[in-house]
Structure 1
Amino acid sequence: MAIKEGLRPGGRSARVQESIHSAVRELLEEQERSTLTVPQIAVRAGVTPSTIYRRWGDLSALLADVALERMRPDGEPATTGSLRGDLRAWAEQYLDEMSSEPGRNMMRDVQCSATPGYCVSILSGQLQIILDRHRHSEAALPSLDRLLNMTVAPTVFRILFAAEPLDVQELHELIDIALRS
């Protein structure tokens, strides 16, 4: 079942959703994710399992929804005064957050169940803010696709499929390549 994106429930529905999300976050801090069950979440949230199944369909969709909520940025990317500096600051923070165990788990949850393209839209939005910030001060800006392909894609690939994530120096080199015209 797809995550019902765009639904922004209010009132009781919002409180139920937040209670379930909180239960998931708490339980993931207390136990291994492989042992997590819908009935456990329901008990912790004070709802019936059918409430969870009705809204999310299955555990993986619920985990993806919780992960997507955590992936949404809290604010705009840092401003350093230069395009290269802004991209480096953003990419370093992304690498640091996503290469942690909670970050890797979040990426796996989203990868398995999320609406296609949703993560790209989140990341694109952050990168577009940086590009817009420097639109008038730079002779040539890389395209959004170039930044995604040259910096984000290798970062995600290494986090999910390699023994070690990119190191910061490699990340900086990828950003420098992406900035070349």
Structure 2
Amino acid sequence: MDSDATTDTRPTPRPGGRSARVQRAVHDAVNALLGEIDRAQITVPAIAARAGVTPSTIYRRWGDLGELLADVAVERLRPDTPPEDTGSAQRDVLLYVTQFADEMASGPGRTVLRDVIGSTAENRSGTCCNVTRNQLELLGERAAARGEDFPGVEYLIDTVIAPIIFRILSNEPPGEARVAALVAHAFGTMPDPSRAAPALSAPSS
């Protein structure tokens, strides 16, 4: 054995052990405070006091308040239940995407998007995207089991999810009709929804 080699004797966090309990306590504290006070008033010491940990514990694990809020935001995106099964691939996707658009366009949803996009952690946005990707993959598996055609998951992200997020971030959340048009276009049942949308008239001078 190399005499210069060292052995890392630090304990590895156990799933469900203290590390998981600390994360849950801190996440619960953040969510509780978000429901009680304005987001701008939330501080690391306030979170630490509510969670029963020291501020240094939070700084060691998350780095700063922004990263903690982004971590909580990603966790809030994780669905509690699988997408509803309507018996039709296109209806499944339409229902899921409509609910997704409504949630993301809400006040809390926009806060989630802002926190995730503002995060400096390289994997934060990727994790957010993977939550949606996993849900669409489940819908694709259902469609395959029923023998239905299904657009590629990445195609749905590019042509349905991405335009919805762009409009929400541009403060022009899509209505149900546009969401339905995007989904229908992805399934090849109607023309490009950008052409189907009514033209905006030029403002009068």
Q: How high is the TM-score relative to the length of structure 2? A: 0.79
Q: How many residues align?
A: 173
Match of residue 168, structure 1, among 168, 176, 190:
176
Matched AA of 2:156? L
Partner in structure 1 of residue 118 of structure 2: 112
1:8 shift after superposition = 7.1
Alignment of 1:12-23 (within 5 A): 12-23=18-29
Partner in structure 1 of residue 10 of structure 2: none
**CA distance, structure 2, for counterparts of residue 99 and residue 66 of structure 1:** 18
Alignment of 1:6-155 (within 5 A): 9-113=15-119, 114=121, 115=123, 116-135=125-144, 136-138=146-148, 140-155=149-164
CA displacement, residues 29-59 of structure 1 (integer Å, 9 cap, x when unaligned): 1111122111111111111110000010011
Matched AA of 1:170? R
CA displacement, residues 85-121 of structure 1 (integer Å, 9 cap, x when unaligned): 0011101111111111111101111112151421221
Q: What SS class does the counterpart of residue 105 from structure 1 fall into?
A: helix
Partner in structure 1 of residue 165 of structure 2: 156
Task: Identify the structure with the greater helix proportion.
Answer: 1
Tell which has more relative contact order, 1 or 2 (C-alpha 8 A, sep 6+): 1
CA displacement, residues 97-150 of structure 1 (integer Å, 9 cap, x when unaligned): 111111110111111215142122111110011111112522x42111110011
Match of residue 178, structure 1, among 166, 186, 197:
186
Q: What SS class does the counterpart of residue 30 from structure 1 fall into?
A: coil
Matched AA of 1:178? A
1:179 shift after superposition = 0.8
User: What stretches of structure 1 of length at least 5 have no aligned partner?
Assistant: 1-6
Task: Answer with 1 or 2: which has the greater Rg.
Answer: 2
**CA distance, structure 2, for counterparts of residue 8 and residue 31 of structure 1:** 33
User: What stretches of structure 2 of length at least 5 have no aligned partner?
Assistant: 1-12, 190-205
CA root-mean-square deviation:
1.7
Taking a change above 3 Å as real, the CA distance of residues 31 and 95 of structure 1, as seen in their structure-2 partners, is: same
